[in-house]
Amino acid sequence: MNPYSQLQAAYGLSLGALGEFTEGERLCEKGLSFAYEINHLFSIGVAEFYYGWLFNIKGDGESAVKHHQGAIEYWEKSQARNLLPIAWICLGWGYFLLEKPDSALEAEEKGLNMLAERGQPLFLSFYHNVLSGVHLDRGSLSEARRHAEEALNLARTGHQRSVEAQLLIQLGRIIGKTDMSDTGTAEGYIFQGMKISDELKMKPTYASGHLALGELYTGAEQKGKALENLKRAGAMCREMGMEYWLGRTKKLLESLEREIQ
């Protein structure tokens, strides 16, 4: 592996996780370009993967799919079989963002089968995390919760704090949709996730917490709290250029404002 290209792309991804997407994309592109320049197949795959993961976080499904497909192509060419499962799992995440659940599930199953063959439990939390989101969007709340709880247990066992933060927020969303009388429990999970993301300075995850609270309070008829959190989520998404999540926030906000009027 070429250290220069990998470090550029890894640094770019890290900045993306902090919400600094413009600089993160620049560094990922720099790392990828260098890997292509020296024609190092494995390093191209690494840089493509980090670049795709940045777009997963940002919510840009089209770019995420493109780069994860590139990672899969170059890791297959370089025989990097141990890394292929996580590329397929993150490809499924990209399809989820594009609202293509069937393609997402197909990619996830491919990743899971590879994990089973290679015995790599580290990546399983990502697999269950993505599946939780797919099932939640489909309205399969029991399946969404099962996968979220499994992913949370795996994330905690593996000390994956960033994943834990996402899953706590996800569980709060699921509980809020399952039982509107249990707003307090749902709120507690979301607050826990936001606390961890704040400690890690993960602004995109923190913004998703405000969106989840806005969604929760809307369903609980606490319109003032809902409005406050949706506006905060929208401002953060706009600042970071997270257009996908900004669009979802605007849709909820517009619907809530019509109800208030």
pLDDT above 90 coverage of the chain, percent: 92
Residue 71 has pLDDT above 90, yes or no: yes
The rounded distance, in Å, linking the Cα atoms of 208 and 103 is 24
Q: Give the pLDDT of residue 181.
A: 83
Residue 120 has pLDDT above 80, yes or no: no
Q: Residue range 201-222: average pLDDT?
A: 96
More confidently predicted of 151 and 182: 151
- Say how many residues make up the chain: 261
Q: Which fold has domain 1-90?
A: 1.25.40
Domain ranges, ordered by start, for the chain = 1-90
Q: Give the pLDDT of residue 117.
A: 82
Residue 126 has pLDDT above 80, yes or no: yes
Query: Of 36, 34, 10, which Cα lies nearest the Cα of 24?
Result: 10
What average pLDDT does the chain have?
95
How confident is residue 177, by pLDDT bands cut at 50, 70 and 90?
A: very high
Residue 257 has pLDDT above 90, yes or no: no
How confident is residue 30, by pLDDT bands cut at 50, 70 and 90?
A: very high
Burial class of residue 155 in the structure, from the number of CB atoms within 10 Å of its CB (0-12 exposed, 13-18 middle, 19+ buried): buried
Q: Residue range 70-77: average pLDDT?
A: 98
Q: What is the pTM of this model?
A: 0.94
What does the pLDDT look like over 55-69, one tens digit per residue? 999 999 999 999 999
How confident is residue 119, by pLDDT bands cut at 50, 70 and 90?
A: low
Lowest mean pLDDT among 7-11, 100-104, 116-120: 116-120
Q: Give start and end residues of each alpha helix (H) in the chain.
A: 3-17, 21-37, 41-58, 61-77, 84-97, 101-118, 124-138, 141-157, 161-178, 183-199, 203-219, 223-240, 243-260
More confidently predicted of 81 and 10: 10
pLDDT above 70 coverage of the chain, percent: 98
Do residues 95 and 62 touch, judged by C-beta distance below 8 A?
Answer: no
The rounded distance, in Å, linking the Cα atoms of 65 and 75 is 15
Q: Residue range 63-76: average pLDDT?
A: 98
